[in-house]
């Protein structure tokens, strides 16, 4: 009841994901899945793996209500030239779900994170 009167940010998803350390593990496993996935691995050739890991971890931390600030480039600016197809977008989402499964993230939390990523779709897919 009284809780809703305070404007505390909701960090329950962040906690379900295991905080920043848990998210970092998910992103690491996501990277292995990307490398093995013929649908998308060509796009990722030559990227800075450490920077990608740090920035995506910060982004998912922030999006889940955690105390992080994404400091990478805008989604549209990053992905505009890549010509990303719907199939490729879905492949990445699928790999993220698999990486969360591997880290025993509850299905409800998986769904909540995917839901928060969907608004980024228009900025990521081929424009
Ligand atoms: C929900 C979907 C996605 C999210 C949230 C996302 C997020 C990000 C973030 C945060 C970065 C910055 C990492 C850095 O600074 O290096 C990034 C870079 C990148 N993304 Fe995505 N991305 C998504 C979908 C995709 C898809 C579907 C592809 C290709 C199939 C893709 C290809 C790349 C590549 C190649 C980079 C590295 C760019 C570079 O180093 O210049 N992304 N993405």
pLDDT at 2 over 90: no
Reported pTM: 0.93
Q: Whose CA is nearest to atom 5 of ligand 1?
A: 117
Q: Is the CB of 57 under 6 A from ligand 1?
A: no
Ligand 1 within 6 A of CB of 99: no
pLDDT digits (tens, 9 = 90+) for 33-92: 999 999 999 999 999 999 999 999 999 999 999 999 999 999 999 999 999 999 999 999
Stretch 26-30: mean pLDDT, rounded?
98
Mutate to test the pocket of ligand 1, among 69, 96, 124 (most ligand atoms within 8 A of CB): 124
C-beta neighbour count of 60 within 10 angstroms: 26
Rounded CA separation 49/73 (Å): 15
Domains of the chain: 10-124 (1.10.490.10)
**For residue 92, which atom of ligand 1 is closest to its CA?**
27
How far apart, in whole angstroms, are the C-alpha atoms of residue 11 and residue 28? 22
């Amino acid at each position: 009841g009284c809780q809703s009167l305070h404007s505390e940010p909701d960090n329950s998803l962040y906690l379900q994901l295991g905080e920043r350390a848990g998210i970092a593990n998910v992103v690491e496993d996501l990277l292995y899945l990307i490398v093995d996935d013929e649908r998308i691995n060509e796009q990722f050739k030559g990227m800075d793996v450490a920077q990608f890991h740090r920035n995506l971890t910060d982004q998912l931390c922030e999006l889940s209500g955690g105390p992080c600030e994404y400091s990478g480039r805008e989604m549209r600016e990053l992905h505009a030239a890549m010509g990303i197809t719907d199939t490729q977008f879905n492949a990445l989402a699928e790999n993220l779900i698999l990486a969360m499964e591997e880290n025993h993230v509850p299905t409800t939390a998986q769904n909540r994170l995917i839901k928060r990523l969907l608004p980024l779709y228009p900025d990521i897919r081929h424009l």
